[in-house]
Amino acid sequence: MKFQENLYLVNGSEVDTLSLEGGSTWIFAQNSLAAIHYDLTGKSYFEVGPKHGLHTMLIDLYEPGSITCVEAPNKFRSQQHYARENGSWVSRIRTENFDFHYQDFGKFTSIKKYDLLFYSGIIYHNVDQMGQLRKLHEISNDDAFMVFESSTTRNESLIDLNVVEVHHPPYSSLYRNIETCSFHPSKKACKSMLEMSGWEIIDDSDNYKNLSNRERIIILCKRSTPKRNRHLIEK
**Element (DSSP H or E) covering residue 17:** helix 14-18
Is residue 234 in some structural domain? no
Exposed, middle or buried, 109 (CB in 10 Å: 0-12/13-18/19+)? Answer: exposed
Residue 103 belongs to what domain range? 10-227
Who contacts 208 (Cβ-Cβ below 8 Å, separation ≥6)?
A: 28, 31
pTM of whole model > 0.85? yes
The angle, 0 to 180 degrees and rounded to 10, between the axes of the packed helices 54-61 and 23-35 is 30
| Residue (of 225, 182, 188) closest to 206 by Cα position | 188
| Residue (of 132, 140, 148) closest to 115 by Cα position | 140
Is residue 4 in some structural domain? no
Instruction: For residue 6, give the DSSP letter.
Output: T
Name the pLDDT band for 86 (thresholds 50, 70, 90): low
3-state DSSP helix/strand/coil % of the chain, to nearest 5:
35, 25, 40
Render the burial of 11-44: b for 16+ CB within 10 Å, e for the rest. eeeeeebeeeebbbbbbbbbbbbeeeebebeebb
| Number of folded domains that form the chain | 1
Is residue 2 in some structural domain? no
Is residue 55 in some structural domain? yes
Is residue 232 in some structural domain? no
Is residue 44 in some structural domain? yes
Exposed, middle or buried, 192 (CB in 10 Å: 0-12/13-18/19+)? Answer: middle
pLDDT at 154 over 60: yes
- CATH code where residue 184 lies: 3.40.50.150
Mean of the per-residue pLDDT values for the chain? 89
Q: What is the pLDDT of residues 96-145, one digit of tens each?
A: 999 999 888 989 999 999 999 999 988 888 888 999 999 999 999 999 99
> Do residues 189 and 172 make contact, with C-beta atoms less than 8 angstroms apart?
no
Is residue 79 in some structural domain? yes
**Element (DSSP H or E) covering residue 5:** none
Is residue 37 in some structural domain? yes
Q: What is the pLDDT of residues 32-50, one digit of tens each?
A: 999 999 999 999 999 999 9
Residue type at position 64: P
Residue type at position 211: L
> Do residues 183 and 158 make contact, with C-beta atoms less than 8 angstroms apart?
no
pLDDT at 176 over 50: no
